[in-house]
Amino acid sequence: MTAPSDLVPAWIEGRLVPIDKLAAHLEGRRHKAVSVFVMDGDTVLIQRRALGKYHTPGLWANTCCTHPHWDEAPKDCAVRRLREELGIEGLTPVFAGQVEYRADVGGGMTEHEVVDIFTARAPHDLTVAPNPSEVMEVRWIALTELMDEVEAAPDRFTPWLRIYLADHRARIFAA
């Protein structure tokens, strides 16, 4: 039986319905997602996904990304996942827009996501305590350096981070 927290909002036959998260990826279903970019000046906090993740393990991604629970507001989801993945408390995510993408994430899985993107400004003394089952490493990196690294070694980064930087950088990093 699927736990309620494993159900994500997905569109099936034109209706938004709860579907198992893994099934959404295996079937390439269009579904809701949330991505967060935490910034400190011109640097962004990125994470390297834990090796136990069921797709894209060990790849670098934006600060955090996830799927809202069936009945969860996107901003509440962003706050929850900052806490659950990175131990980050007290930030106020700001909605930066919505994007849709479709990407092969390996293992026969496809992410077809409609993503609410949030940014959050971090204080210089932000406490980050990664959950090792979610995140194996974090680092702060200047946006220009991140762009250079993605260009030089794209396979070290998740497909969605590459898409965000290539197609939506101005919207995400406008402030």
Alpha-carbon dihedral sign for residues 87, 95, 157, 41: negative
The reply to whether 134 belongs to the active site is no
Catalytically annotated residue among 84, 85, 113, 134: 113
Task: Please give the CATH topology (third level) of the domain spanning 4-172.
Answer: Nucleoside Triphosphate Pyrophosphohydrolase (3.90.79)
In this prediction, residues 19-31 reach a mean pLDDT of: 84
Catalytic choice (65, 77, 85, 111): 65
Q: 73-96: per-residue pLDDT in tens? A: 999 999 999 999 999 999 999 999
Task: Tokens for 7, please give them.
Answer: 């159900």
Domain boundaries along the sequence of the chain? 4-172
User: What number of other Cβ atoms are within 10 A of residue 103's Cβ?
Assistant: 17
- DSSP-based three-state secondary structure for 82: helix
How many residues can be counted in the chain?
175
| Residue 20 tokens, joined | 């198992």
**What pLDDT, on the 0 to 100 scale, is given for residue 1?**
39
Query: Does residue 113 carry a catalytic annotation?
Result: yes
Residue 60 to residue 80: CA distance in whole angstroms: 20
CA atoms 92, 137, 62, 49: torsion sign: negative
- If one compares 155 and 16, the residue with the highest pLDDT of the two is 155
Mean pLDDT of all residues in 43-63: 96
